[in-house]
A and B are shown apart, each in its own frame.
Chain A
Amino acid sequence: MAVNYIYPEQEIVRNYDRCIACRACERQCANEAHEYLPEQKKMTSDDAKCVSCHRCVSICPTRALKIVRTDHDFRKNGSWDKKNIYEVYKQAETGGVLLSSMGNPLDFPIYWDKILLNASQVTNPSIDPLREPMETRVFLGAKSQDVTRGADGKIIPKTTPQLELSLPVMFSAMSYGSISYNAHESLARAATELGIYYNTGEGGLHEDFYVYGANTIVQVASGRFGVHREYLDAAAGVEIKMGQGAKPGIGGHLPGKKVGADVSRTRMIPMGTDAISPAPHHDIYSIEDLRQLVFSLKEATAYKKPVIVKIAAVHNVAAIASGIARSGADIVSIDGFRGGTGAAPTRIRDNVGIPVEMALAAVDKRLRDEGIRDRVSVVAAGSIRNAADVVKAVALGADAVYIGTAALLALGCHLCRTCNVGKCNWGIATQQPDLVKRLNPDVGYRRLVNLMTAWKHEIEEMMGGMGINSIESLKGNRLMLRGVGLNEKELSILGIGHAGE
C-alpha cells in the first residue's frame, strides 16, 4: 500500500450518542465523506474526503456532527509550516501546479480593520436615520462638469451614461459555469429588487436571464466567451476584464467538468472542454489598444452604456488607473489581492497583487492629483466583508464596491475553497443538477436582499453618526477615517491621520 503523506486538514467528529444513522449526511455529501456500515448499523466518515463545507453539519437533524481542525501536526518549525510541507508533498506526487479557490487566505494585514470611523459631537449634530432622510444612492459613470445651456438659458441636464445604484454595492463578476444557474438567478433577481447590479463574469449570459438585463453588467474578458450582439444589448453596462485580484497576470480558468450543455451553449464552447482564458487580451498589448476596445464596445452599444474596466490591484495600479481614465472608460474597478475566484493557481493567489485598501487610496489620490477623478467612477473590490468596509472604502474614495464572497456566503457558501472541484454541496459552485437544485433561487435571492438591506441600514447608521446624510458627502472624505497601529508610510498611502491626531 502506497504511503500517504497527507493527513486530512479537518476531522469529522460524530457524536454517536446523538447519531440516529438516518444517512442524511451520506446523501448530502457529494464528496462521499460519509458512509453507512450496514452490519454495524452505524455511520462512519472519511476525513480525507471532507472539504469542510459544513453541509452535513447544517442538515444533521440531531446535531451529531461537527468538523474540527485537526490537531495532528508536525514538529514546530518557524520556517516550514504544515501548509508549505504539504504543498511540497502534493507537488512531489503530482508534478502539477496547485489550484485553489476563493481569495488569498494568508495572514496579510487587513487595513479595513485598522481604520476607525468618526462620529459627530457637540459642534455638529449626528443625524438619526430613523427620523431623517439618509441617502445612499450613487451614480457610476463619467461626470463632465461642462455645463451646456439651451437657447432659453436653461441647463440641458444631459450626462454620459450612468449606472444608478440604490446603495453603493454591486455583486461582482462570477461567471455562469463557475457558479450555478440558481446562483445566477438569485443574484440577478436580488440585484433587480434592490436597484443595484450583478455582473455576469466572463461566462456569457444565460438566455433566461436577459429579462434582468437592466440590472446586469456583462463582462468581456480575454476569452471572449459568450460575447455577441444580444449579450451586449441586454446589459446595462459592459465590463472589460483586464485582471482579477485573485490571479493578476493570468486569465480565467473553468475546469471542463463544469462545462455541461447549458454552460457550453452560453459560453459558446464545446461541452467538457476547459475554458481557459488567455492571460492577456490578445488584442490589447498596451493602453492605446485598450482604448480601442473601450470604444469598440461603445460603438457596439451606441454610447448608451457605461464601460467599466476591471483591473487587479498590482504595484503600479495608480498609473494604470490613470491611463484607463484617459482611455474613455466610464468606470474603473479595482480588485484587491483578497478577491475571490472559482479557480486559481495557489501560488499566484497567495503571492501576487496588493491590498485593495492601498490600491484604492493610491488610485483615488492619483486621479485627483491629475485632476481627472471626475472622469471616471472608481469601484473597489476584493474582500469587502461588511457595511463598515463599505463605508471605509467610500471614505477612502470609492464610488461603490463589488462584493463576491459576501454574496456567496449569503447563498450558503461556507468558504471551503474547493469551487474548482465542482462538487459544491450548497449548489453554488457546481453544475451537477442534483447539487444545483439544493440552492432554491426563491430563498437565495431573498437572503441576498436581506443582506443588502441590513448593510444599507448599517451604512445609514454610520453616516448619520458622522453627520452625513448623503453618501456623496462621504466619498473621499478621508477626514472621517483614522488609522490605528499603522506606520507613517501606511498612513500616508492611505491618506489618513492616526487615531488621536
Chain B
Amino acid sequence: MSPTTPPLPDAAVPPPADTGTEATTTPDESRGQTAMREILASSWVVTTLAIVLALIISGVLIAAADQEVQDAAVYLFAKPADFFSAAWHAVSSAYVALFQGAVFDSTADTFAQKIKPLTETLTVSTPLILAGLGLGIGFRAGLFNIGAQGQIILGAVFGGFIGFTFDLPPGLHLLLAMLGAAIGGGLWAGVAGVLKARTGAHEVIVTIMLNSIAVYLIAYLLTTKPFQNPGSSNPISPPIPESAQYPLLLGDQFRLHAGFIVAILAAVFVWWLMGRSTIGFKWRAVGSNPHAARTAGISVNSAYIWVMVTAGALAGLAGSAQVLGTDKVLTADVAASFGFDAITVALLGRSKPFGTFLAGLLFGALRAGGFAMQARTGTPIDIVLVVQSLVVLFIAAPPLVRAVFRLPAPGTRRTRTPRSSTKEVAA
C-alpha cells in the first residue's frame, strides 16, 4: 500500500451494494411486495443462499467422483433415471452422514451417543471461534492478519509449556497457562503490528512469513529436551497435567471442555470492545480511514500494534483450547488448519462477534461432520474445504448470488432491477 492510497477495503464492512434496507417504497407497490423484496434482498438471505449454492456445487463434485454415478453416466441417454437416482443417492447419503456427524446422529443407540456429534461440533468450533474473533478485530481495523496459524502455534507452545513444566494448584495453573497462551500469541502477532507501525511492512507478508517460522519453530522446539517426554525422543510433549486442563463440561464421555465457555466469553468481550468501548471506536475509525483517524488525534500506529496484539492473544487462546483442552498434549500439528479456517470464519461472520460465533459453529460442524462422512460414505473430508471456500467466495460477492437466484438488488425498484444490477456489478 502506498501512502497516498486508502487502506485495504475493510473486509468487515459489507459491500455497499449489500446494506439492505434502503429500499424506497413507491405508491404503485403494495406493502407486502416491499416487505418481500426487503427480505429477499437482505444479507441473511444472501448468506443462506450462498451456503446452499456452495452445497449444490460441492454436491456436483461428490456425484462426479462417485463410482455408481460414473457407471450410470455411461448409459445416461438410454436410462437417465438411473443416472439421476445414483447421483441423488451419492449426494444425499454424503450430506446426511455429514449432518449426522455434525449435529444429531439418529442411528446411534443411546441418547448420549445421539447428541455426541453436537458436542464434537462445539469442541471443534472453539479454536475457530476464538481465532476468528481475533482476525475479525484486525479486519475491522483495516489489518489483514493472516497469521492466525502462527499465533495459534505460539499460544499453544507458551500455554503448553507452562502446563506441562510447572506444578501448580488447579485453577491457578490453568489461568497461568491461558495467560501464557494469550501472551505467546499476542507477542507473535505484535511483531507484525510493530513492523507495520514502525516501518510500514505489509502485515500480509509479515504474517505469512511468521506462520512458516512458527511451524519450523515448534518442530524445532519439540526436538529439544524441555519439550519432550522424559526418556523419549518423539516430537511430543509430556501430557498436560489435570491442574492445567480445561475442565470437561459434560463428563467423561464427551470431549467438550471449558474452552468453549472461554470462546463465548471472548465473543461477548469482543462485542463490548469493538461496539461499546472507546478503544474499539478508535480501532474502527482507523479501519475506516486512517488519515481521518490521524487527523482526529488517534494514534494510528499504536492502534495497529494493539489490534495485532489483541488478535494474537485471542488466537493464542485458540491454541490453548487445543493443547489444554482437546489434545491435552503439544504436538507439531497442534494448529492443524485452524489458522486458515479461521480466516474464512471471520470473513463469513463479516468480522462481527456474533456472526463469527455462528460461522465458527458452522465450519466446526462441517469439520466434525466431515470425519463422519468420510468414515460412513467414503466421501473424502477435503470436500469440506471446497464448501467452506465457496461459501466465503459467494458471500463476498452478493451480486453473483443474486444473479444466480434472480433476486432483487437492495435499494432498487422492481422495474429497474435488471438495469441497475448490471450497472452495479459491471464496475
Partners in one complex: no
Interface residues of B (CB under 8 A from A): none
